[in-house]
Amino acid sequence: MLKIYHVQGTRSVRPIWLCYELDLSLQIETIDFSQTYRDTHQWRAISPAGKVPVMTDTDTDAEVTLFESGAMVDFILERYANGRLHPPRGTAASAIHHQWCWFSEATLIRPLGLNRILRTPASGAESLAADGLNKTHNALQAVEQALQDRNYLLGAEFGAADIMMGYSLVLLEKFKLLEDKYPNTQRYLSRLKDRENFARAMQA
Ligand SMILES: N[C@@H](CCC(=O)N[C@@H](CS)C(=O)NCC(=O)O)C(=O)O
């Protein structure tokens, strides 16, 4: 059974809309969007960066909790869509499908958050910087937590998710955001940097 922790009008619309299009049964739980609730241990236990949405699947052979809307869409498509609403994997059309999915979140709407902060009264560059820093540290806590019992994001084996994460961490390190904090993340980044192909890619 799919369950989506929802706040009206937020990114939880994505997985909910997809479930509706695929006619999947779904449980929706509306949560309190206040910062106070999102900072509770209870919420951080399922949403380590304190954000919305979260989706769980309690199906016994695919039990999973996800806290990134694009990953929810991917999972629902892979597991429940039977080829509907996305092109076959490995095709050029599939590559374009993935590109638009990533672009929608990572490139198109990310700057919107900054715009909203700039428009609120009594805000400016300082509050913008503080908010950005705060959100980055919240997200880094999610990475730190994920790495507490494993060498790589998915477990013992290195994979493509570590390549995506590795580059982001290199940038965060460059801006000195990992200093004296996040021991698991720092060890992980060293492990990634030890890979010959990381050095090759950075020098390419
Ligand atoms: N990339 C994440 C972004 C999640 C996100 O930023 N959600 C917003 C609601 S749409 C949120 O929780 N904002 C509160 C905050 O950032 O503190 C996703 O697509 O799930």
The tokens of 75 are what? Answer: 């999972």
Query: Tell me: the pLDDT tens digits for 30-47?
Result: 999 999 999 999 999 999
Pseudo-torsion of CA 50, 64, 89, 95, nearest 10°? Answer: 10
Is pLDDT at 65 greater than 80 in this prediction? yes
Q: How far, in Å, is the centroid of ligand 1 from the Cα of 194? A: 33
Q: Which atom of ligand 1 is nearest to the CA of 7?
A: 9
Q: What is the torsion angle, in degrees rounded to the nearest 10, for the CA atoms of residue 62, residue 64, residue 70 and residue 76?
A: 30
Residue nearest (by alpha carbon) to ligand 1 atom 3:
68
Distance 58 CA to ligand 1 centre (A): 23
Q: HSE of 195 in the Cβ direction (CA atoms, 13 Å)?
A: 16
SS3 assignment, position 66: strand
Q: Report the alpha-carbon distance of residue 144 to residue 148 in Å, rounded.
A: 6
Gap between the Cα atoms of 51 and 174, Å rounded: 25
Q: pTM (2 decimals)?
A: 0.87
User: What residues line ligand 1, using a CB cutoff of 6 Å?
Assistant: 10-11, 51-53, 68-70, 105, 135
Give me ligand 1 centre to Cα 47, in Å.
10
- pLDDT, tens digit, 9 for 90 and up, residues 82-123: 999 999 999 999 999 999 999 999 988 887 776 666 666 666
The 3-state DSSP class for residue 57 equals strand
Domains, the chain, ordered by start:
2-87 (3.40.30.10), 135-203 (1.20.1050.10)
